[in-house]
């Protein structure tokens, strides 16, 4: 896992930081659900998610317009991490949650910053209508 900074097109003093969980194939598995003000805050956010993984509430959502499946993990109503991709089938989405739970525990936190130019990683797009299925604690 490594903190990352999306390029907002503004000065460096207004940079926002996030973190990503990267798999062995160098693909994004998960990311922070929101941006942090500082690099240190992003690093602390990674550890906070790892510390509370057993208490996370995992949600599997189906996007009505595309039929794609997504997941997110919340704690006390606040989203902490999001899936790094969409899935064609609900079963695959739920299986990915199990893989993420293991990967979060085993992940090595690496220092460094990747500048993500034009990234949508922490941007809010149009509201999406979901058919929610929430499973408490375990998918």
pLDDT averaged over the chain? 77
pLDDT for position 117 = 58
The β-bridge relationship of strands 114-117 and 2-7 is: parallel
What's the number of CA atoms in the CB half-sphere (13 Å) around residue 74? Answer: 11
DSSP 72-108: EEEETTEEEEEESS-BSSHHHHHHHHHHHHHHHHHPP
pTM for this predicted structure: 0.70
Name the CATH topology of 2-117+127-135: PH-domain like (2.30.29)
Q: Is the pLDDT of residue 18 over 70?
A: yes
Contact in structure between 105 and 111 (CB atoms under 8 Å): no
pLDDT digits (tens, 9 = 90+) for 71-124: 999 999 999 999 999 999 999 999 999 999 998 888 888 877 776 655 444 433
pLDDT digits (tens, 9 = 90+) for 30-50: 999 988 888 889 889 989 999
pLDDT digits (tens, 9 = 90+) for 20-32: 998 888 888 999 9
pLDDT for position 131 = 41
* Torsion on CA atoms 67, 117, 83, 48, rounded to nearest 10: -150
């Amino acid at each position: 896992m490594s903190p990352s900074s999306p390029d907002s097109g503004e000065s460096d003093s207004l940079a926002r930081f996030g973190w990503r969980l990267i798999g062995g194939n160098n693909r994004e598995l998960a990311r922070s659900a929101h941006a942090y003000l500082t690099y240190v805050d992003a690093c602390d956010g990674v550890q906070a998610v790892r510390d509370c993984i057993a208490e996370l509430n995992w949600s599997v959502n189906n996007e009505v317009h595309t039929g794609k499946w997504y997941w997110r993990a919340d704690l006390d109503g606040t989203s902490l991490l999001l899936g790094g991709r969409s899935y064609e089938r609900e079963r695959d989405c739920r299986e990915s949650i199990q893989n993420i739970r293991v990967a979060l525990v085993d992940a090595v936190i690496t220092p460094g910053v990747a500048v993500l130019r034009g990234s949508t990683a922490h941007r809010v797009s149009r509201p999406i209508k979901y058919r929610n299925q929430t499973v408490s604690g375990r998918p």
